[in-house]
């Protein structure tokens, strides 16, 4: 593996250890420590910033980059081969009247190249910079308003040799548990389903660069990274790459963020621009926006009385539990059995996360209990059962040495379970709505000839009624007033007592004899 070059901005070299623990904070610490409130970060593929283009094109691109209002902009495909070009670009960015930016880059050739723009208005301290030889990665460990974050601008390769992902693994592995924000043009997509079912592409005969897509998904699993756009919009079809000209109709979502799961709660929105920032770009801008301030109610989504008995939710909660135990393990421990259990736990939680994502994707496509997707879905659940049954017991997990106090561990555990539950509940609800709509559509078609299709109609209506009953029960549980009213009503036992006319016990039974 080729080494990542470290260019240190400070006078002292900071040593980073392999990331084997999560940053576990209490709610009070999070309120004090989280300082990304209102931060706006964008991604833009520049299609070259060199001086070989005309002055008109150069000025249009500069205007497009500086008028976004973003605090930080991840740039890729900048191609800064000319030293004089670097000086001009820096001057153009920092002296821009709309919003001045400091420009950091990893580009010396007439191909590839990445950069990061940081607003001059942003309170930020740069701790370290990381550059790879291929000029596809620029990492910056920074402190923003007191919070340390690893920012990484990337440009995914078109080839499949794996060097890019080896370098990313090394970079993220050397991170000491700080939050990560990765972004850029990955030149692959997250969804690895076949083209006709793939939510990230359209009008394409094959999925772009599938080997790298699989490497990306493994990277996200290994480092607990989330695609915030897909987390917020699991069913939304939006694309970022639009080839130049009107002849080609293929579209794909190649540009996206991957962020640490611990900061997902603070994400307000991820927006894909409805148009190009300038006609000289062929990629649309993607913007990640964090919530302003620390609003506890806004940040901490509540668990609802939805799908609480769903097996997929149960497995997701178990996986979240495994993750917290795994990252809270004390790596300095010499307990051989503990090390073995933790290693096994890491393998199980990674496989569980993959199976859960695959099961959710299959559940989105289920339109009939007899369809292939339903059978495959049940197969994934069976595999999850076997995987968990072969895993360590709760007693073994409790015996693992931890790198934090019991109080901090418990709060991290509850926070992670809450985050997972809320996310999975949303995705299951979306899948169930799709299934319900498919039943409605089928019934409308069948009812056009009620007599012939009576048995099929009866079966589907029974299935639909089950769904309605479940929805009503969930609604009843959510409505506390209705629940209280129900509690005030006389139950069947009370009514049965009221029907008894025989007087069995009276006041005289407690009188003393002779009085």
pLDDT in tens, 10-46: 332 322 222 333 344 444 444 444 567 789 999 999 9
Which tokens belong to 143?
A: 């402190």
- Name which of 423, 67, 376 is nearest 197 in CA terms: 376
**pLDDT higher than threshold 70 for residue 88:** yes
Question: What span, in angstroms and rounded, lies between the C-alpha atoms of 388 and 147?
Answer: 36
Domain boundaries defined on the chain: 4-296, 311-433, 443-488
Question: What span, in angstroms and rounded, lies between the C-alpha atoms of 197 and 454?
Answer: 32
Q: Using an 8 Å Cβ cutoff, are 238 and 253 in contact?
A: yes
**pLDDT higher than threshold 70 for residue 376:** yes
Which tokens belong to 290?
A: 């964090």
Question: What span, in angstroms and rounded, lies between the C-alpha atoms of 277 and 289?
Answer: 18
Which tokens belong to 116?
A: 């990061």
- In this prediction, residue 73 carries a pLDDT of 97
The model's confidence at residue 488, banded by pLDDT at 50, 70 and 90, is low
CA distance between the termini of the chain:
102
Report percent pLDDT > 70 for the chain: 82
User: In the predicted model, what is the mean pLDDT of the chain?
Assistant: 81
Give mean pLDDT, residues 52-62: 84
- Name which of 270, 281, 350, 352 is nearest 313 in CA terms: 352
> What pTM, to 2 d.p., does this model score?
0.61
Compare 185 and 230 and report the one with higher pLDDT: 185
Give mean pLDDT, residues 123-146: 93
pLDDT digits (tens, 9 = 90+) for 298-320: 445 677 777 888 889 999 999 98
**pLDDT higher than threshold 70 for residue 297:** no
The model's confidence at residue 506, banded by pLDDT at 50, 70 and 90, is low
Compare 120 and 479 and report the one with higher pLDDT: 120
Q: Using an 8 Å Cβ cutoff, are 224 and 261 in contact?
A: yes
Question: What span, in angstroms and rounded, lies between the C-alpha atoms of 71 and 73?
Answer: 7
Which letter does DSSP use for residue 258 in this model? E
Which tokens belong to 107?
A: 């580009």
The model's confidence at residue 209, banded by pLDDT at 50, 70 and 90, is very high
Question: What span, in angstroms and rounded, lies between the C-alpha atoms of 395 and 102?
Answer: 53
Question: What span, in angstroms and rounded, lies between the C-alpha atoms of 47 and 382?
Answer: 47
Question: Which of 27-31, 56-60, 279-283, 324-328 shows the highest mean pLDDT?
Answer: 279-283
Q: Using an 8 Å Cβ cutoff, are 286 and 276 in contact?
A: no
What CATH class does 4-296 carry? alpha beta
Do strands 72-76 and 40-45 pair parallel, antiparallel, or not at all (unpaired)? Answer: parallel
The model's confidence at residue 354, banded by pLDDT at 50, 70 and 90, is confident
Element (H, E) at 288: strand 286-290
Question: What span, in angstroms and rounded, lies between the C-alpha atoms of 52 and 60?
Answer: 14
Element (H, E) at 273: none
Q: Kindly write down the DSSP assignment for every residue of 440-492, as one continuous string.
A: HHHHHHHGGGTTTTHHHHHHHHHHHHHHHHHHHHHHHHH-HHHHHHHHHS--H
Q: Using an 8 Å Cβ cutoff, are 339 and 410 in contact?
A: no
- In this prediction, residue 500 carries a pLDDT of 54
């Amino acid at each position: 593996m080729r080494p990542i070059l470290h260019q240190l901005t400070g006078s002292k070299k900071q040593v980073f250890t392999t990331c084997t623990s999560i940053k576990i904070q209490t709610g009070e610490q999070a309120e004090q420590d989280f300082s990304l409130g209102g931060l706006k970060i964008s991604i833009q593929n520049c299609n070259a910033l060199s001086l070989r283009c005309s002055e008109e094109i150069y000025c249009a691109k500069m205007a497009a980059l500086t008028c976004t209002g973003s605090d930080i902009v991840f740039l890729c495909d900048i191609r800064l081969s000319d030293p004089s070009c670097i000086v001009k670009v820096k001057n153009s960015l920092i002296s821009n009247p709309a919003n001045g930016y400091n420009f950091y880059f990893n580009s010396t050739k007439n191909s590839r190249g990445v950069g990061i723009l940081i607003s001059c208005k942003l309170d930020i301290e740069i701790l370290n910079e990381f550059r790879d030889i291929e000029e596809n990665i620029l990492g910056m460990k920074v402190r923003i308003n007191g919070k340390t974050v690893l920012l990484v601008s990337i440009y995914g390769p078109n080839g499949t040799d794996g060097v890019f992902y080896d370098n990313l693994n090394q970079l993220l592995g050397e991170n000491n548990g700080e939050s990560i924000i990765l972004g850029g043009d990955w030149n692959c997509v997250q969804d690895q389903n076949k083209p006709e079912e793939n939510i990230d592409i359209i009008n394409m005969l094959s999925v772009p660069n599938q080997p790298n897509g699989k490497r990306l998904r493994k990277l996200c699993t290994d480092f607990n990274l989330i695609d915030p756009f897909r987390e917020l919009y699991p069913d939304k079809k939006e694309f970022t790459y639009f080839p130049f000209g009107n002849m080609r109709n293929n579209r794909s979502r190649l540009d996206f963020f991957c962020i640490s799961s611990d900061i997902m709660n603070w994400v307000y929105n991820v927006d894909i621009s409805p148009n190009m920032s300038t006609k000289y770009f062929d990629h649309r801008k993607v913007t990640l926006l964090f919530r302003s301030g620390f609003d506890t109610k806004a940040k901490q989504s509540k668990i609802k009385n939805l799908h609480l008995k769903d097996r997929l939710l149960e497995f997701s909660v178990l996986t979240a539990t495994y993750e917290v135990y795994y990252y809270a393990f004390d790596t300095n421990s010499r307990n051989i059995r503990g090390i073995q259990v933790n290693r096994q736990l890491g393998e199980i939680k990674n496989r569980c996360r993959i199976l859960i994502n695959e099961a959710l994707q299959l559940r989105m496509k289920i339109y009939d209990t007899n369809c292939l997707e339903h059978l495959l879905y049940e197969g994934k659940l069976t595999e999850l059962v076997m995987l968990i049954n072969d895993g360590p017991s709760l007693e073994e997990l409790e015996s693992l040495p931890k790198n934090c106090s019991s109080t901090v561990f418990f709060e991290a555990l509850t926070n992670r379970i809450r985050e997972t539950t809320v996310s999975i509940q949303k995705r299951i609800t979306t899948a169930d709505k799709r299934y319900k709509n498919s039943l409605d559509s089928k019934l409308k078609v069948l009812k056009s000839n009620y007599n012939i299709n009576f048995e099929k109609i009866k079966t589907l209506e029974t299935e639909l009624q089950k769904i309605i009953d479940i929805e009503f029960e969930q609604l009843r549980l959510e409505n506390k007033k209705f629940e209280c009213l129900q509690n005030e009503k006389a139950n069947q036992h009370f009514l049965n007592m009221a029907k008894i006319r025989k007087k069995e016990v009276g006041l005289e039974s407690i009188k003393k004899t002779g009085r």
